[in-house]
């Protein structure tokens, strides 16, 4: 009879690598802010200048950037805080430490890149006189060392855990002492040799994403140069972060970001729980024929063309349309054109989104409800639970994984309000509440042919969405133990 022996835990000592990462992050920021980053000459006065990172943070420069902080200095501060927090509070969460370290290095490099290409126009410096000092070299070197420390720290911890796992496996299963746990690459090779037909089936999908999704990302370079069709992507003049600065300095930045977030938030607040409630109501409905009628009626708006849908909304919201007649019935002498008044645009947009997608979005929740074990309802009934308590303690926990995954995806698209429907509905009177990032990108890129500017704005939008997905996934994993990865 074999007695199972538990794995001996790795001895908990002082994790000096963690403190090294924290120290390197803090030291990098100190060097970046308080040491001289470059020596230059003022282009107008000819005065010699010695600028530290703090000067760029406070906007103590000449040119158009005077008075405004450098975005890459802000990014370096944010990612330094992120790296310190990841190393201190979550020593096992390698991905957050590595992201913080990578982007800290990228921020320092992009700081130098931007100043080099924008010296005359933005900072009022003589470009030929720029000399980046040992401060920048030290900050860049420390950020790279920090990246190496993060990898070393994770590798060392992983090897300790693997050695404990190997020892526990050998003792428990009476395996020979020379046994080695297969590496990830060995597992992949072995799995591929057994299931190669399945890998061939997914190959077209992989090729599709490589060609049409990842290949075009090469065009992101347009956001950092003054793109001209004659010169192409690589032949156009590099301008650094000029387009990002122009966007955030413009009057449209605050308005478009505010409108995008508000429309997405209202849509999430109303449009996300609505299909869940509908699915719960349909699940409790016992009259099959009536249930099918309700499902059909709620599904139908989803299949109406977007152009037709917007035409219907335009007619309904006019002073002589359906909502205008309803206003007259309620005693309003002069009906309001809902799409001609900025304060009603978000209500019309969110309401129409819920109406169009309510039935279709409920399908996935109905599928999740069908997978719940009916014995759980029987057990709840025996315990004296009514319908409401069954929903709270059986139904909602049963579909919680589905709700969590869909919520992560919805939060990840908070900055991704599509431009098609808004362009069909908005007008000059509703720009104040209707203009979002995607419509602004459309006007600047397609209408005004300013491809570099629109690419920069859209890149900013995509990065925010990416970070929102990571944040939502982490919060979901902590609160519900359900996540995408």
Contact by Cβ (8 Å): 37, 130: no
Average pLDDT on 379-389 reads 87
Q: What is the mean pLDDT of the chain?
A: 84
Average pLDDT on 342-361 reads 91
Give the list of residues 6+ apart from residue 47 with CB closer than 8 angstroms, or none: 41
Helices (H), 339-384: 342-370, 374-382
pLDDT at 356 over 60: yes
Look at residue 69 and give its three-state secondary structure.
coil
- Element at 275 (helix H, strand E): helix 273-284
Look at residue 418 and give its three-state secondary structure.
coil
What is the pLDDT, as a whole number, of residue 43? 86
- Of the ranges 185-189, 421-425, 427-431, the best mean pLDDT one: 421-425
More confident call, 121 vs 160? 121
Average pLDDT on 446-472 reads 87
What is the pLDDT, as a whole number, of residue 264? 92
What is the pLDDT, as a whole number, of residue 54? 92
What is the pLDDT, as a whole number, of residue 67? 84
- Separation of alpha carbons 284 and 286, rounded Å: 6
Of 36-40, 90-94, 387-391, the range with the lowest mean pLDDT is: 90-94
pLDDT at 184 over 90: no
- Separation of alpha carbons 484 and 474, rounded Å: 9
**DSSP string across 281-295:** HHHH---HHHHHHHH
Average pLDDT on 245-251 reads 86
pLDDT at 4 over 60: no
pLDDT at 274 over 90: yes
- Separation of alpha carbons 12 and 9, rounded Å: 8
Give the list of residues 6+ apart from residue 301 with CB closer than 8 angstroms, or none: 309, 355, 356, 357, 358, 359
Look at residue 227 and give its three-state secondary structure.
strand
- Separation of alpha carbons 435 and 420, rounded Å: 12
**DSSP string across 85-147:** HHHHH-TT-HHHHHHHHHHHHHHHHHHHHHHHHHHHHHH-B-GGG-EE-HHHHHHHHHHHHHH
**Residue 349 burial (CB < 10 Å; 0-12/13-18/19+)?**
buried
pLDDT at 167 over 60: yes
Contact by Cβ (8 Å): 99, 107: no
Of 21-25, 153-157, 237-241, 375-379, the range with the lowest mean pLDDT is: 153-157
Give the list of residues 6+ apart from residue 477 with CB closer than 8 angstroms, or none: 483
- Separation of alpha carbons 180 and 187, rounded Å: 12
- Separation of alpha carbons 457 and 230, rounded Å: 23
pLDDT at 164 over 60: yes
pLDDT at 431 over 50: yes
Of 7-16, 144-153, 335-344, the range with the lowest mean pLDDT is: 7-16
pLDDT at 436 over 70: yes
- Report the sign of the C-alpha dihedral through residues 170, 173, 178, 179, in that order: negative
What is the pLDDT, as a whole number, of residue 103? 80
Q: What is the pTM of this model?
A: 0.76
pLDDT at 34 over 90: yes
pLDDT at 70 over 70: yes
Look at residue 38 and give its three-state secondary structure.
strand
pLDDT at 102 over 50: yes
| pLDDT class of 175 with cuts at 50, 70, 90 | low
pLDDT tens for 52-66 read: 999 999 988 888 888
What is the pLDDT, as a whole number, of residue 6? 44
What is the pLDDT, as a whole number, of residue 35? 92
- Separation of alpha carbons 271 and 257, rounded Å: 20
């Amino acid at each position: 009879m074999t007695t199972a022996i538990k794995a001996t835990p790795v001895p908990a000592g002082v994790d000096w690598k963690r403190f090294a990462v924290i120290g390197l992050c803090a030291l990098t920021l100190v060097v970046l802010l308080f040491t001289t980053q470059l020596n230059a000459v003022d282009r107008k006065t000819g005065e010699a200048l010695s600028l530290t990172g703090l000067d760029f943070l406070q906007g103590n420069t000449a040119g158009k950037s005077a008075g405004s902080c450098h975005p890459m200095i802000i990014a370096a501060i944010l990612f330094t805080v992120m790296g310190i927090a990841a190393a201190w509070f979550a020593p096992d969460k390698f991905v957050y430490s590595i992201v913080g370290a990578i982007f800290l290095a990228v921020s320092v490099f992009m700081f130098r890149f931007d100043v080099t290409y924008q010296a005359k126009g933005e900072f009022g410096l003589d470009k030929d006189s720029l000399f980046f000092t040992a401060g920048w070299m030290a900050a860049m070197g420390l950020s790279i060392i920090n990246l190496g420390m993060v990898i070393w720290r994770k590798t060392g911890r992983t090897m300790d855990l693997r050695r404990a796992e190997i020892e526990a496996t050998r003792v428990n299963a009476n395996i020979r002492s020379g046994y080695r746990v297969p590496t990830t690459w060995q597992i992949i090779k072995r799995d591929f040799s057994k299931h190669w037909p399945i890998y061939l089936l997914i190959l077209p999908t992989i090729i599709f994403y490589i060609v049409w999704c990842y290949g075009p990302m090469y065009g992101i370079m347009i956001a950092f140069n003054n793109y001209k069709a004659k010169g192409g992507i690589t032949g156009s003049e590099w301008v650094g972060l000029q387009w990002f600065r122009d966007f955030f300095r413009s009057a449209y930045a605050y308005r478009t970001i505010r409108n995008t977030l508000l429309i997405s938030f209202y849509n999430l607040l109303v449009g996300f729980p609505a299909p869940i409630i509908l699915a719960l109501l349909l699940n409790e409905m016992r009259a099959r024929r009536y249930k099918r009628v309700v499902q059909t009626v709620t599904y139908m708006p989803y299949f109406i063309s977007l152009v037709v849908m917007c035409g219907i909304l335009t007619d309904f919201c006019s002073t002589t349309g359906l909502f205008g007649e309803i206003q007259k019935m309620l005693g309003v002498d002069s009906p309001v054109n809902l799409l001609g008044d900025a304060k009603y645009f978000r209500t019309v947009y969110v309401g129409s989104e819920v109406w169009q997608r309510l039935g279709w979005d409920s399908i996935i929740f109905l599928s999740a409800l069908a997978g719940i074990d009916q014995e759980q309802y029987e057990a709840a009934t025996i315990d004296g639970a009514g319908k409401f308590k069954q929903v709270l303690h059986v139904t909602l926990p049963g579909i919680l994984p589905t709700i969590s995954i869909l919520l992560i995806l919805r939060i990840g698209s908070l900055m991704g309000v599509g431009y098609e429907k808004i362009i069909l509905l908005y007008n000059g009177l509703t720009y104040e509440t209707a203009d979002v990032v995607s419509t602004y990108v459309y006007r600047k890129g397609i209408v005004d042919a300013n491809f570099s500017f629109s690419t920069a704005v859209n890149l900013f939008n995509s990065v925010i969405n990416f970070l929102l997905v990571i944040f939502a996934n982490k919060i979901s994993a902590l609160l519900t133990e359900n996540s995408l990865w």
